[in-house]
A = this chain, B = another copy of it.
Amino acid sequence: MAEGTVAADQLRLFIERIERLEAEKRGMADDIRDVYAEAKANGYDPKIMRLMVRLRKMETHTRQEQAAMAETYASALGVQYWLPL
């Protein structure tokens, strides 16, 4: 079997793995849509739900951002700092 064929097969394998994963990822997105739809069918407003999800994400993310900013600031200023654990 030629070298070129081996390489081609390896490339195909990588591509197919990626396509498989992308399909799964798309499936997750679909599932999320379904949950919103189901919640709506139970009388909840999807728009408000999305807002809540976003807020909860922000609260988590904001904490991390604050910590990162503190670290950057401290390092930029050459300050020794300890997190209050």
Could you tell me which A residues sit within 8 Å of B by CB distance?
4, 7-8, 10-12, 14-15, 17-19, 21-22, 24-25, 28-29, 31-32, 35-36, 38-39, 42, 44-45, 47-49, 51-53, 55-56, 60, 63-64, 66-67, 69-70, 72-74, 76-77, 79-85
B49 and A66 within 8 A (CB): no
Determine how many copies of this chain the complex contains.
Answer: 4
A76 and B32 within 8 A (CB): no
The interface residues of chain B lying within 8 Å CB-to-CB of A81 are: 55, 84
B77 and A56 within 8 A (CB): yes
Determine chain A's interface SS by DSSP, over half rule: helix
The interface residues of chain B lying within 8 Å CB-to-CB of A76 are: 4, 7-8, 11-12, 45, 47-48, 51
